[in-house]
Amino acid sequence: MDRRETVIVLDFGGQYNQLVARRVRECHVYCEIYSYKTDIARIKAMAPKGIILTGGPNSCYEEGAPTYSKELFELGIPVLGLCYGAQLMQHILGGRVERADKREYGKTEITVDPSCELFAGVAQKTTCWMSHFDYISRLAEGFVSVAHSADCPVAACENSARKLYGIQFHPEVLHTPEGTKMLYNFVRNVCGCAGDWKMDSFVEQSILAIRQKVGDGKVLCALSGGVDSSVAAVLLSKAVGDQLTCVFVDHGLLRKNEGDEVEAVFGPSGNYDLHFIRVNAQQRFYSKLAGVTEPERKRKIIGEEFIRVFEEEAKKIGAVDFLVQGTIYPDVVESGLGGESAVIKSHHNVGGLPDYVDFKEIIEPLRDLFKDEVRKAGLELGLPEYLVFRQPFPGPGLGIRIIGEVTEEKVRIVQDADFIYREEIAKAGLDKEISQYFAALTNMRSVGVMGDERTYDYAVALRAVKTIDFMTAESAEIPYEVLNRVMNRIINEVRGVNRVLYDLTSKPPGTIEFE
Ligand code: XMP
């Protein structure tokens, strides 16, 4: 097999590092991220077409700051340093980096030298995103400045003979509108990559790599029916066929019909050649949850019970060599597991998987991908669209959308109401615009009148939010007539509900889920 063209991103701890890789992949060039601690021999062995050094929170002249061997710049491979990476390159090659009087932060206008290859097709005055305390006060021999801002004499520099480039700002973020063009110029023109990598290449390459790793070993996958674990399962199934067993725990807190939908895709009548085990553990979960009202306690019970059930199934299967997890890049960053960057928040998943199940190694084939890239891979693998474009659904499921005690009856109410709500939102063509929407069951009962009778029933709350990162969110403006239709249908079709409320709260102060 031909060696695939690869650009390597060396991670010095910046928050945007995965974005750099993503932008490179958007230029149809395959890209992998490695820690700055990676040995140079390993880098050489990979024979990359180019190397990008990322930003990072340190000052390169401080003792103990992340650094790299000078040899990296002598390999004849083009190198592009970004922010810290640019400063470090200068520091190592004999330039000077100092603390600036004033931090340069935010959108900044720069003037670029159009003769520099990085700026081909870029406007001479363009906007970029700056975020630095230090600046390059003297360039190393052989370098010239090719961009400057009002406060920064070297916003970019080059030694074109040696194909070494530095950019003080962040071309990878959207606040640098022409940034992708600059990265494109680097990988395609300076490094000479052909740009023939696509998501199907990711799929193909992953399948080959998985096969090599797994050999004839046994693989186990916890399938939730969510996008990530579904894509991971299909990828594994394509790679190792019936060596894979997927365990799907139906905890009775799924959306209406969801268990059957998952089974239809992955079960015996589905399209994949894998052992699929559906564990109908509904009653087990309901009885553990009986009488419990405190949200954190509910989450813990669901998480723990999930692990118990999974573990029991794993034991039945016997010694498993590999466990598959659908971890994706944002999970890695948020839980602080990713490379060198700082912890943002710890990810709250269904409680993790048991560490004492008998397996040798974990396979995380989607670890480098963003959600939309995972979706592309899912489509590439032939997963149905309704599964691929599913909105996020929390591990504890409806357990945290039923305020107070969870009962089978309440699960039925919230499932039915949610089903109607989703159906009407889709009919109104709003499903692509709203990031997440669902019905929840409040713990409130109130008096109503239906026909000539007094009712004393539950109130359903409708939630719909728009968000980019799910860390902050605004409630979505749904046309009144759509809300009205949903309300009418829920009251008429769902037994036990006599009131429908719309939640206007943004996050913060609210959260997206109710518990
Ligand atoms: P909150 O409620 O924290 O939700 O504003 C933010 C996003 O995370 C999802 N969420 C979870 N996902 N396990 C998950 O896998 C959980 O325990 C969990 N709790 C919330 C939520 O649906 C929203 O998309």
- Closest ligand 1 atom to residue 392 Cα is 24
According to the model, what pLDDT value does residue 345 have?
A: 33
Q: Closest residue (by CA) to atom 18 of ligand 1?
A: 394
CB atoms within 10 A of CB 409: 10
| Residue located nearest, by CA, to atom 10 of ligand 1 | 394
Distance, CA 26 to ligand 1 centroid (Å)? 28
In angstroms, what is the span from residue 183 Cα to ligand 1's centroid? 34
Is residue 316 within 8 Å of residue 309, measured between CB atoms? no
Q: Which atom of ligand 1 is nearest to the CA of 393?
A: 22
Please indicate whether residue 172 is annotated as part of the active site. Answer: yes
- Tell the burial category of 97 from Cβ atoms under 10 Å away from its Cβ (0-12, 13-18, 19+): buried
CA of 121 to the centre of ligand 1 (A): 42
pLDDT the model gives residue 423: 97
Q: Tell which residue, 255, 265, 257, has the closest CA to residue 246.
A: 265
Predicted local distance difference test score (pLDDT) of residue 350: 41
Of the residues 104, 172, 340, 515, only one is catalytic, namely 172
Q: What is the pLDDT of residue 354?
A: 56
Catalytic residue check, 193: no
The structure's pTM equals 0.73
Q: Which of 28, 132, 170, 251 is catalytic?
A: 170
Ligand 1 pocket by Cβ (under 6 Å): 348-349, 392, 394-396, 436, 470, 507, 511-513
d(CA 168, CA 166): 7
Closest C-alpha residue for ligand 1 atom 11: 394
For 77-107, write each residue's pLDDT tens digit. 999 999 999 999 999 999 999 999 888 889 9
Q: Which of 256, 249, 259 is nearest to 285 (CA)?
A: 249
Q: Tell me whether strands 359-363 and 436-450 are parallel, antiparallel or unpaired.
A: unpaired
pLDDT digits (tens, 9 = 90+) for 134-190: 999 999 999 999 999 998 999 999 999 999 999 999 999 989 999 999 999 999 999
pLDDT at 2: 47
Q: Please, which residues bridge with residue 158 across strands? A: 144, 165
Residue nearest (by alpha carbon) to ligand 1 atom 4: 512
Determine the residue of 403, 512, 514 to mutate for testing ligand 1's pocket, defined as the one with the most ligand atoms within 8 A of the Cβ atom. Answer: 512
Ligand 1 centroid to residue 298 C-alpha, Å: 14
Per-residue tokens: 168: 């003080």
Identify the residue whose C-alpha is closest to ligand 1 atom 14: 394
- What is the signed CA dihedral for 381, 385, 387, 391, rounded to 10 degrees? 130
Work out the angle between the directed axes of helices 258-266 and 227-240 (0-180°, nearest 10).
Answer: 20
- For residue 109, the SS3 value is strand
Annotated active-site residue 423? The verdict is no
Mutation choice for ligand 1 from 371, 470, 471, CB with most ligand atoms inside 8 A: 470
Looking at ligand 1, which residue's alpha carbon is closest to its atom 3? 511
Residue 340 is predicted with a pLDDT of 53
The whole-angstrom separation of Cα 82 and Cα 431 is 38
**What is the residue with the minimal CA distance to atom 16 of ligand 1?**
394
Name the stretches of the chain with pLDDT < 50: 1-2, 335-338, 342-351
Which residue owns the Cα nearest ligand 1 atom 20?
394
**What is the whole-number distance in angstroms between the Cα of residue 513 and the centre of ligand 1?**
6
Considering only CA atoms, which of 86, 100, 94, 95 is closest in space to residue 54?
A: 86
Atom of ligand 1 nearest to the CA of 350: 13
Q: How many angstroms does the Cα of residue 475 sit away from the middle of ligand 1?
A: 16
C-alpha distances (whole Å) from 365 to each of 9, 233, 328 are 18, 10, 8
- CA of 466 relative to ligand 1 center, distance in Å: 14
CA of 377 to the centre of ligand 1 (A): 23
Place of tokens 């499903």: 431
Residue in 31, 83, 128, 191 annotated catalytic: 83
